[in-house]
Chain A
Amino acid sequence: MEHTGLVFNIQKFCIHDGPGIRTTVFLKGCPLKCRWCANPESQLEKSQLMLDRRKCVRCHRCVAACPNGGIRPDSKTGYPVFDRELCQSCGSCVNACLGNGEKALTMEGQRMTAGEVLKEVLKDEVFYKSSGGGVTFSGGEPLKQMDFIKPIAKELRKRGIHTACETAGYVTEEEMKEAVSCMDLFLFDMKHYNGEKHLEGTEAEQENILNNLSLILDSGCKVISRIPVIPGFNNEEADAHGFGRLLKSLGLREVHLLPFHQFGEGKYEQLGITYQMAGIPSMKPEELTGMKEIMEQYVERVQIGG
């Protein structure tokens, strides 16, 4: 339980990440680079500063507080600008931040030991038991921190608590085997059915992912496939057929279609990174009905939303 991991959120009462009432542990660091990513703060495997301009009163206390001189006010807008190379994630600027009552600066990602996480997630044990819920590891790519989550998941299982992980499957075979040994459910993200398109959208090869998926299915673990439906990438009728054929050939029986949304947009700005999907409207659940109907020809259960 001394292994540490980089956690950016432990969210309670999650009801879309597996059965029952759950606590979801979000881990930082992801090997994929999806341009629609809704959790950009999850991508890097290090702590990151976020600035919410709506709360910033431009008091520049953070500028003075940074021991590395990594913050300066923008000459035009007055908002602080960060030299992220210089940032040591010490948190001095966050402490100094005044905000409009709520802090404008936050540090995303903190090192926690497996024991600390276990203690936190066990607080809701009564709710897991009464609802058939449990704990979900998400990210980022949680399976990239297997040493950290394995002891937690094992201990949870020992207590009869359901474990799940949300993974994109882009990990080593070793890591996936470890995961299979301690997870009851895999929420397996699938971005595309076509290898080239997959590489284009995520900068990652699909072959390794599909091998890992087969590995899970062969082990007999339960898998629910999740497809983020992205306009212009995988939302056509042909895509529905493509996904359907792939899922059927793999023997997957349940899939969730997740409509593209823009909840992550503000976070790109706060992190100071460019967002390639800016301005593209969110999809409404009912826009996915057509896809759902097509995919039902191939897969037993198709659900819109998690």
Chain B
Amino acid sequence: MRERIARLKKEMLDEKRFLSVEQAKIIHRVHRERREEPVSLRRAYALAAAFDEIEICIKEGELIVGNRTCGVRSGVVFPECGIAWLEDELDSLPVRSQDPFLVRPEDADYIKKTLLPQWKEKALESRIHQKIGQEEEQISSVVKTNQKGRGQGHIIPDIRKWLEVGPAGLLQEAKERMKKPGISQVQREFYQGVTISLQGVLRFYERYASLADDLYQKQVNSPYREDFRTVALICRELSYETALELTEAFFLKFNQIVCMRSGIEARYFAGFPIGFNLVVGGRNARGQVLENKLSFLFLEAQRELHLPQPNLSARLCTESSQEFLSACTDGIAKGGGLPQLFNDEGIIPALERAGLSRSDAADYGIVGCVELAGCGNMLGWSNASMFNVVKVLELTLNHGSCLLTGKQLGLDLGGLDTYKSFEELEEALKKQQSYFVKKMVENHVVVDRMHGTYLSTPLLSSVVKGCMEKGLDVTKGGAVYNSSGMQFVQVANLIDSLQALKEMVFSGRIEGGVFLRQLRENWPDEELRGRVRGLSKKYGNDIEEVDTLANKWIALFGKELEQYRNARDGRFHVGLYTVSSHVPMGENVGATCDGRRSGEPLADGGISACGGCDRNGPTAMLKSASALDFECIANGTLLNMKFSPSIFREERSRERFYGLLRSFVELGIQHVQFNVVDKEELLDAQRRPENYGNLLIRVAGYTAYFTALDRKLQNEIIRRTECVI
């Protein structure tokens, strides 16, 4: 790593993070000034005004310029999305344990006196709350409806087009389309919005250009003075070293833009990941392997910089070269879980089945954490909702009533004390699931539709295929593909619980009523709990009976969703990941039949086993995962594995790791990511966090600094099974 990058990295990490209301002020003003205009135009004008007005700067030595604020890693407030949380949390924001942000007193004042009173009721989040707040509350312990207080992201723009025609070319296209006879009012408004936004972009570029000129004139003594003039030259004649430096500068940029979240959200998405995704490797629809110098450059830049962003993914396929596998392994061995690995053999067929064309499926990329999306043509609304099926089982076992509060939350279809057979229980669970799926879908449709009404995104729409052609904003269904992703959480707990019931209750060893009392009273009988925990048939151990049951319930969830369409007339895709929400979602669930106590975290990842239950090593875990029918899972899955660093030290054991990766590909598992760290090291980091400031860890579909994580999440990561050799 060159001195320049090292210095920029250090400056970035050392700079204090502030909340920023700079853009909020502009948004507030423009929306007032233009209150007669339609919402979509107001948003376009507000964005353009931000391009014109936000303070810009170029740091000495910076090679890639541009940010949302002058300060790096600022928490930008968007009042039209959702700011109610700031009312309660403004004072604690600088001191909270998870992802704190400093707040300048004048900004706090502005938020309290202007933004909150003016925007609280008008923000998307409040509008959604007014509309479905009650329904949401009712099902909140089972369903977490997402994307209510922010733009929903999870989309890959058509980068090829942006690079080919640029904003000027897009602007011309929008203007031409606007002139076409017979276009509707909605279409006209859309093209207007696109035009306003793109004009803003062009002016924004120009502002940076003049600033660079300026700095060149003024900074006569800077050792970096020539950079401003030589960037163009570098781009024409890149040597490997300069290309690496430029890539690293690019990677630094990804870490300068963060997402400030409410306290509760920060626990679900700890470490403020914004999810800039880069993908290398894989195979295109013509069967060509996609590995080139840039793939290796990206892997090397990640290894050298060792920062949490970008979320670097590598696509593996049967034809992946040994060199590529080895470069990925070098990155993984460093710890921090990057690159995470995706498998074309498991993913491309799933996306084709979900309706993507052959070439679009082969061209897939990653959004958010581990979610799958077409490139530049799809709004997959990947993180639409989390469906807590473990809670659904709880309600099914307890006459529809919550074990934690005693409230009647679901249908009373009987209980563990009344079901006569395992089949009867499964029947009831199916009904209960169907009841909550319907409600979840209804709520999501409202949220989805409200985004279309209040949160149009003209600039983004200009680079998503289908929008320009249809003259329709991406939030209204302009994209070619329009799905929504529903997460089934968490298969391991569900299956271990069902299996325990099968073996303990429905085999006649224990009466249902007695078992139910254990759940209600949070496992007072330690002996019985020990027996349940000691059962050998658990998910993650390559046991056919168990894995078949897992598959069955995922398929049932998918089938349930098949009957619905979302607000953009798209299908619902099943996802199997939790980000880090298995911890707070676990708090919602009482004692479970697998011996888990009330409030403890659910299994991590998405298709991982319950912590410590995968007793037969990594091959058995992979075999269990491979038993799932990935063709029916198009939204993304997440498998966490933890290895001790020793495996990567010697070439002869590294070779075994390559074998493991090749098998992962052959087994058709969609995703896996590795934490490479000793348990002792993590425990020590808890005791002496000051020594571990840069210990990166893979949390879920993203990477964060271990010491910055909530204690509960830290403990959960330590508990995950480690594969030692």
Residues of chain A at the chain B interface (Cβ within 8 Å): 11-13, 15-16, 20-21, 61, 98-99, 101-103, 123-124, 126-127, 130-133
- Bound-complex Cα distance A98 to B534 (A): 10
Contact partners of A131 in chain B: CB under 8 A = 655-656, 658-660, 662-663
Q: Are B530 and A99 in contact (CB under 8 A)?
A: yes
Q: From B44-52, B236-244, B294-302, B617-625, give the one contacting chain A.
A: B617-625
Give, as a whole number of angstroms, the nearest-CB distance from B391 to chain A: 24
**A16 and B725 form a contact (CB under 8 A):** yes
Q: Is B3 on the interface with A (CB-CB < 8 A)?
A: no
CB-based contact A123/B663 at 8 Å? no
Contact B530 A101 (CB under 8 A): yes
Find chain B residues with CB under 8 A from A101 CB. Answer: 526, 529-530, 533
Contacts of A15 in B (CB 8 A): 647, 653, 656, 725
Chain A residues whose C-beta falls within 8 Å of the C-beta of B663 in the assembled complex:
21, 126-127, 130-131
Residues of B within 8 A of A12 (CB): 616-617, 619-620
What's the dominant secondary structure at chain B's contact region?
helix
B530 CB contact (under 8 Å) in A16, A102, A133:
A102
**B residues 507-535 touching A (CB-CB < 8 Å):** 526-527, 529-530, 533-534
The 9 closest A-B pairs by CB, nearest first: A131-B659, A130-B662, A13-B617, A15-B656, A12-B617, A130-B663, A130-B659, A127-B663, A98-B527
CB of B723 within 8 Å of the partner chain: yes
Contacts of B533 in A (CB 8 A): 101-102
User: What's the Cα separation between A12 and B623 when bound, in Å?
Assistant: 12
With an 8 A cutoff between CB atoms, is B404 at the interface?
no
Interface residues of B (CB under 8 A from A): 526-527, 529-530, 533-534, 542, 616-620, 623, 647, 653, 655-656, 658-660, 662-663, 666-667, 723, 725
Pairwise interchain contact B666-A130, C-beta atoms closer than 8 A: yes
The answer to whether B534 and A13 touch across the interface, beta carbons within 8 angstroms, is no
Chain A residues in 8 Å Cβ range of B542: 123
With A and B bound together, what is the CA distance between A21 and B623 in angstroms? 14
Q: Majority SS of interface residues in chain A?
A: loop
| 30 interchain pairs, CB-CB under 8 A | A12-B616, A12-B617, A13-B617, A13-B619, A13-B723, A15-B647, A16-B725, A20-B655, A20-B656, A21-B656, A21-B659, A98-B526, A98-B527, A101-B529, A101-B530, A103-B530, A123-B619, A124-B620, A124-B623, A126-B623, A126-B667, A127-B619, A127-B660, A130-B659, A130-B660, A130-B666, A131-B659, A131-B660, A131-B662, A133-B656
Note all chain B residues with C-beta closer than 8 A to A99: 530
Q: Nearest Cβ distance between residue A254 and chain B, in whole angstroms?
A: 13
Q: Measured between alpha carbons, how far is A61 from B526 in the docked complex, in Å? A: 13
- Docked Cα-Cα span, A13 to B533, in Å, equals 24
Asked if residues B618 and A13 are in contact (CB atoms below 8 Å), the reply is: yes
Q: Known contacts A11-B617, A13-B618; is A123 also within 8 Å of B623 by CB?
A: yes
Bound together, the chains give a CA A223 to CA B623 distance in angstroms of 32
Extra 13 A-B pairs, beta carbons < 8 Å, given A101-B526, A130-B662: A12-B620, A13-B618, A15-B647, A21-B663, A101-B530, A103-B530, A123-B542, A123-B619, A123-B623, A124-B620, A126-B623, A127-B659, A131-B660
Looking across the interface, which residue of chain A has its beta carbon closest to that of B623?
A123
Chain B neighbourhood of A130, CB < 8 A: 659-660, 662-663, 666
Q: Give chain B nearest CB distance to A191 CB in angstroms.
A: 25
A130 to B325 CA separation, bound complex (whole angstroms): 13
Distance of A124 Cα from B663 Cα, bound (Å)? 10
In angstroms, Cα B618 to Cα A127, docked, is 11
Chain A nearest Cβ from B319, distance in angstroms: 14
In the docked arrangement, what's the CA distance between A132 and B658, Å?
11
- Cα separation A112 to B126 with both chains bound (whole Å): 64
In the bound complex, CA of A268 to CA of B667 (Å): 41
**Interchain nearest-CB distance for B706 vs A (Å):** 26
Q: Once bound together, how far apart are the Cα atoms of A72 and B232, in whole Å?
A: 85
Q: Which residues of B contact A126 (CB under 8 A)?
A: 623, 663, 666-667
For A127, the chain B residues whose CB sits under 8 A away are 619, 659-660, 663
Q: What B residues does A16 contact at CB under 8 A?
A: 725
A126: shortest Cβ distance to chain B, in Å? Answer: 5
Q: Chain B's nearest CB lies how many Å from the CB of A287?
A: 18
- Residues on the A chain within 8 Å of B659, using CB: 20-21, 127, 130-133
Docked complex Cα distance between A31 and B663 (Å): 39
CB distance from A18 to the nearest CB of B (A): 11
Q: Tell me the complex Cα distance, A99–B655, Å.
A: 39
Report the bound CA distance from A92 to B623 in whole Å.
Answer: 33
Instruction: Give the nearest-CB partner of B620 in chain A.
Output: A12
Q: How far is the CA of A145 from the CA of B678 in the complex (A)?
A: 38
CA gap between A191 and B239 in the complex, in Å: 57
- CB proximity of B82 to chain A, nearest CB, Å: 43
The winner among B530, B533, B620, B656 for most chain A CB atoms within 10 A is B656
Q: How far is the CA of A99 from the CA of B616 in the complex (A)?
A: 21
Nearest B-chain residue to A101, judged by Cβ: B530
> What's the minimum C-beta distance from A274 to chain B, rounded to whole angstroms?
29
Nearest-neighbour CB distance to chain B for A13, whole angstroms, equals: 4
Contacting residues, chain B, for A61 (C-beta < 8 A): 527
* Nearest CB in chain A: distance from B663 CB, A: 4
Which of A20, A127, A133 is most buried by chain B, counting CB atoms within 10 A of its CB?
A127
Alpha-carbon distance A11/B658, docked complex (angstroms): 20
When distances are taken between beta carbons in the complex, the residues of chain B under 8 Å from A132 are 659
Residues of B within 8 A of A123 (CB): 542, 619-620, 623
Are A124 and B619 in contact, with the CB atoms below 8 A? yes
Which chain A residue shows the least CB distance to B544? A123
Chain B hits for A133, CB < 8 A: 656, 659
Q: Which residues from A are CB-within-8-Å of B653? A: 15
Shortest beta-carbon distance from A118 to chain B in Å: 15
Given contacts A130-B666, A131-B655, contact A21 B619 (CB under 8 A): yes
Closest Cβ neighbor of A15 among chain B residues: B656
Cβ contacts under 8 Å, B647 to chain A: 15
A20 to B620, CA, bound (A): 16
Q: How many Å lie between the Cα of A21 and that of B619 in the bound state?
A: 9
**How far, in whole Å, are A41 and B617 apart by their CA atoms in the complex?**
21
User: In the complex the two chains form, is A103's CB within 8 Å of B534's CB?
Assistant: yes
* Distance A16 CA – B647 CA, assembled complex (angstroms): 11
- Which B residues are CB-close (under 8 A) to A21? 619, 656, 659-660, 663
Q: CA–CA, A99 to B595, complex, Å?
A: 15
For residue A126, which residue of chain B has the nearest CB? B663
- A200: min CB distance to chain B, Å: 33
A6 to B287, CA, bound (A): 50
Task: With CB as the reference atom, state the residue of chain B lying closest to A103.
Answer: B534
Closest A residue, CB atoms, query B529 = A101
Quick one: closest B residue to A305, CB to CB?
A: B650
Complex CA–CA separation, A21 to B656 (angstroms): 6
A123 to B547, CA, bound (A): 13
A262, B264: Cα distance in complex, Å = 47
Chain B residues with CB under 8 A of A20 = 655-656, 659
Write the nearest CB–CB distance from A263 to chain B, whole angstroms. 12
A126 to B542: give the CA distance in the assembly, Å: 13
Nearest chain-A residue to B527 (Cβ)? A98
A183 to chain B, nearest CB (A): 21
Chain A residue numbers with a CB within 8 Å of B725 are 13, 15-16
What's the Cα separation between A133 and B657 when bound, in Å? 12
CA A133 to CA B619, docked complex, whole Å: 13
Complex Cα gap A261–B213 (Å) = 68
Cα A61 to Cα B723 in complex, Å, equals 34
Complex formed: what's the CA distance from A127 to B657 in Å? 10
Q: Chain A residues with Cβ under 8 A from B534's Cβ?
A: 102-103
Q: How far is the CA of A124 from the CA of B725 in the complex (A)?
A: 17
Instruction: Tell me the nearest residue of chain A to B725, going by C-beta.
Output: A15
CA distance A131 to B665 in the complex (A): 13
Most buried by A among B530, B620, B653: B530
Interchain CA distance A13-B655 in the complex, whole Å? 13
- Docked Cα-Cα span, A20 to B662, in Å, equals 12
Cα–Cα, bound, A20→B653 (Å): 8
Measured CA separation A73–B530 after assembly (Å): 22
CA distance A2 to B616 in the complex (A): 25
**Given the complex of chains A and B, what is the CA–CA distance between A152 and B542 in angstroms?**
20
Task: Give the docked Cα–Cα distance between A224 and B74 (Å).
Answer: 61
